């Protein structure tokens, strides 16, 4: 029979509530998962919390197993790690990652419960959705050996993207951020660091992840002739003004969007999203990424604390909800 389990809901601008979430009847092939941790997607969930999802995107922005509708109330989220409590005998007890809203227990089809590699801590595994995004960005950017790559925005996605880009032979990766404390993180993932006013010019590839108008302007100004500028930020319903006069045309810049919802066309025939997620989890088997998890909030305390964690002036990276 259907049961209920606590779930996090965004109910109005800046307001979060704990509400009963439906746990569907366990059918053949389903698994019941007990959550241990879930990550807050800072950029997207900040927009959800403030009701800034454009009406044209209400359907496209639905996450798997979402309840409710935009703008409010909505049960949202997509980065839960836990253990299988019930289901096929050979799966009980497995540590898994699932694209599901923040909820203490939930039931999903077995194929949607992705096994966590041995040795990958539960808490770090919550970064899998962000790592998928970074992988998509690198594919869209077409980074080649020896490229000079500039990443504007030293948040979670920017750092993960830099870590992947730095693995390409001979690349020189630089992270630009307004916060000088991100320099240490940049170094840990094999990148250099620069403040905006010292950002290097004439770059082969520029990736923008700061979700700011100023950051995108800087990205265009730092790109070399015929360079690729990858816009990986999402602004919700915020208008962005760009001057595409100046040198944009004479430098023949290529401005491309990157979004994780679809695998890039040149990869799609061989890469279902399940394969991409499996690789994202494997890529997280490096303790350097623990530094991206900067705040823990007990799941029961989330209604009182989450709005502050998602405030525009919050300086952390990834907030993790912990379940007991």
**Residues 6+ away with beta carbon under 8 Å from 8:** 16, 17, 18, 19, 75, 77, 101, 102, 103, 299, 302, 303, 306, 321
Does 201 reside within a domain? yes
Q: Which of 237, 267, 297 is the last residue of a domain?
A: 267
Q: What is the pLDDT of residue 1?
A: 52
**Distance of alpha carbon 226 from alpha carbon 272, whole angstroms:** 31
pLDDT of residue 128: 98
- Integer Rg of the chain from CA: 20
The domain total for the chain is 2
Strands (E) across the chain are located at 3-12, 15-23, 30-40, 67-68, 74-75, 80-86, 95-98, 105-109, 114-115, 148-152, 172-176, 192-194, 203-208, 223-231, 254-257, 293-298, 318-322
Averaged pLDDT score across all residues of the chain = 96
Q: What is the mean pLDDT of residues 83-112?
A: 97
Both 261 and 139 in a single domain?
yes
What pLDDT, on the 0 to 100 scale, is given for residue 245? 83
Statement: residue 2 has pLDDT above 70: no
Confidence band of 23 (pLDDT split at 50, 70, 90): confident
Pick from 201, 208, 221, 198: nearest CA to 151: 208
- Its domain, for residue 166, covers 130-267
The reply to whether 150 and 115 lie within a common domain is: no
The pLDDT value recorded for residue 158 is: 98
CB 16 within 8 A of CB 303: yes
């Amino acid at each position: 029979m259907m049961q209920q389990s606590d779930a996090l809901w965004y109910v109005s601008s800046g307001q979060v509530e704990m509400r009963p979430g439906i746990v569907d009847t366990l059918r053949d092939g389903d698994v019941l998962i007990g959550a241990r941790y879930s990550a807050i997607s800072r950029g997207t969930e900040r927009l959800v919390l403030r009701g800034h999802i454009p009406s044209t995107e209400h359907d496209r922005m639905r996450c798997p197993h979402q309840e409710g509708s935009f703008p409010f109330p909505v049960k949202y989220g997509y980065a839960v790690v836990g253990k299988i409590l019930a289901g096929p005998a050979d799966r009980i007890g497995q540590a898994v990652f699932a694209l599901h809203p923040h909820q203490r227990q939930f039931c999903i089809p077995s194929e949607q419960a992705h096994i966590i590699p041995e040795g990958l801590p539960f808490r770090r595994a919550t970064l899998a959705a962000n790592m998928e995004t970074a992988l998509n960005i690198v594919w869209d950017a077409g980074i080649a050996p020896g490229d000079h790559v500039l990443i504007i925005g030293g948040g979670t996605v920017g750092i993960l993207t830099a870590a992947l880009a730095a693995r390409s032979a001979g690349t020189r990766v630089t992270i630009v951020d307004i916060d000088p404390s991100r320099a240490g993180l940049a170094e840990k993932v094999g990148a250099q660091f620069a403040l905006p006013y010292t950002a290097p010019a004439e770059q082969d590839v520029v990736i923008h992840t700061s979700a700011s108008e100023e950051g995108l302007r800087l990205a265009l100004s730092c790109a070399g002739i015929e360079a690729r500028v990858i816009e990986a930020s999402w602004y919700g319903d915020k208008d962005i003004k760009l001057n595409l006069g100046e040198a944009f045309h004479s430098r023949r810049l290529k401005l491309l969007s990157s979004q994780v919802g679809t695998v890039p066309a040149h990869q799609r025939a061989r890469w279902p999203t399940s394969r991409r997620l499996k690789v994202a989890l494997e890529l997280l088997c490096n303790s350097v990424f623990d530094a991206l998890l900067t705040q823990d909030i007990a799941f029961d305390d989330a209604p009182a604390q989450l709005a502050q964690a998602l405030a525009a002036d919050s300086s952390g990276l990834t907030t993790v909800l912990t379940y007991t």
